Amino acid sequence: MVAFGGIAVETVVIYPNVFHDVPASLAESMEFFVVTGPADFFPPMGAVTVVASVAALVLAWPERDIRLWAGGSLLSLLLGEFLFSALYFWPRNDIMFEEGAAVHSAEVLRQTALEFETGHWGRLAMSAMTATLAFTGLWRLHRSRALAAVAPAEGAS
C-alpha cells in the first residue's frame, strides 16, 4: 500500500515535470535529479516491499483465506510491477536519462517518453491492484480475528 502511494505521488508530482516538454524537460530532470531521484528510491523500496510481502504471506499461511489474498498481492507485485518495470521501463529509462540527447534524436526521445507515460498507467493500475489485494487480506484477517474474539464471549453468556 505504501509502494502504491509512492507511485501515485510520482505520477502526480514528478511525471508532469519530467514529461512536459520532451526532450528539454528530460535534460532539466537529469540536472535536477543529480543528488537523488526516483531511481534511488524505488529499487530499495521495491526490495523492501517484496520482503514485506513474502513475510506477510509466510505469516498469513495458516489462514487459508488470507493466504490467497497475500499470495495474489505478491504475484501481482512480482509480475505486474517488478517484471514489467524491468522489461519495459528500465530500457526506456536508459534511453531517456542515461543516453539522452547525446545519443538519441529528439523524435526518439519524444516517442520513448510517450511509451513510458502510456506504460506507466498500466504499472499504476497493477500497483493499485497489489495494494487492494494486500489491504483486502489484512482487512479479512482483522475481521476473522475480531469475530473469533467475540464468539467465545457470546458462548459464555
* Helix locations, the chain, DSSP H: 2-9, 15-18, 24-32, 38-60, 64-76, 84, 90-93, 100-103, 106-156
List the domain range (segments joined by +) for residue 120: 2-30+42-156
d(CA 88, CA 53): 23
- Which one, of 125, 76, 114, 77, lies nearest residue 92 by Cα? 114
Does a structural domain hold residue 114?
Answer: yes
Query: How many CA atoms lie less than 13 Å away from 136 in the CB half-sphere?
Result: 14
Domain count, the chain: 1
Q: What is the pLDDT of residues 7-65, one digit of tens each?
A: 899 899 999 999 999 999 999 998 888 888 878 888 888 888 899 999 989 998 898 88
- Residue 118: pLDDT band (50, 70, 90) is very high
In a domain, residue 37? The reply is no
Which residue pairs, CB below 8 angstroms and at least 24 apart, start in 30-34?
Answer: 30/97, 30/100, 33/97
Q: Is 70 exposed, middle or buried (0-12, 13-18, 19+ CB in 10 A)?
A: buried
Residue 122 lies in a domain: yes
Which of 42, 76, 41, 44 lies closest to 57 in space, CA to CA?
76
**Residue 36, in any domain of the structure:** no
pTM score: 0.83
